Amino acid sequence: MVQPPNQVNDNLQQQAQAIYSSMFIDNPDPAWSHGHLSDLITVKYGKDHKKLADGIYPVYGSGGIMRYVERPLYNKESVLIPRKGTLNNVMYVNQPFWSVDTMFYTEMKLPNVAKFVYHFVKAKDLASMNAGSAVPSMTTDILNAMEVVIPSASALEEFESLVAPMYEAMEANDVQSKALSQIRDTLLPKLMSGEIDVSDVQL
- Cα 85 to Cα 195: distance, rounded to the nearest angstrom: 43
Nearest CA among 113, 142, 112, 116 for reference residue 43: 142
For residues 14-25, give the mean pLDDT: 96
Give me the sign of the Cα torsion angle 132, 141, 100, 106: negative
- Cα 197 to Cα 181: distance, rounded to the nearest angstrom: 19
The pLDDT value recorded for residue 177 is 65
pLDDT band for position 5 (cuts 50, 70, 90): low
- Cα 95 to Cα 113: distance, rounded to the nearest angstrom: 16
Is the distance from CB of 60 to CB of 103 less than 8 angstroms?
A: yes
Q: What is the pTM of this model?
A: 0.84
Specify which of 62-66, 95-99, 193-197 reaches the highest per-range mean pLDDT: 95-99
Give the pLDDT confidence of 79-133 residue by residue, as tens digits: 999 998 889 999 999 999 999 999 999 999 999 999 999 999 999 999 898 876 6
Cα Rg of the chain, angstroms: 20
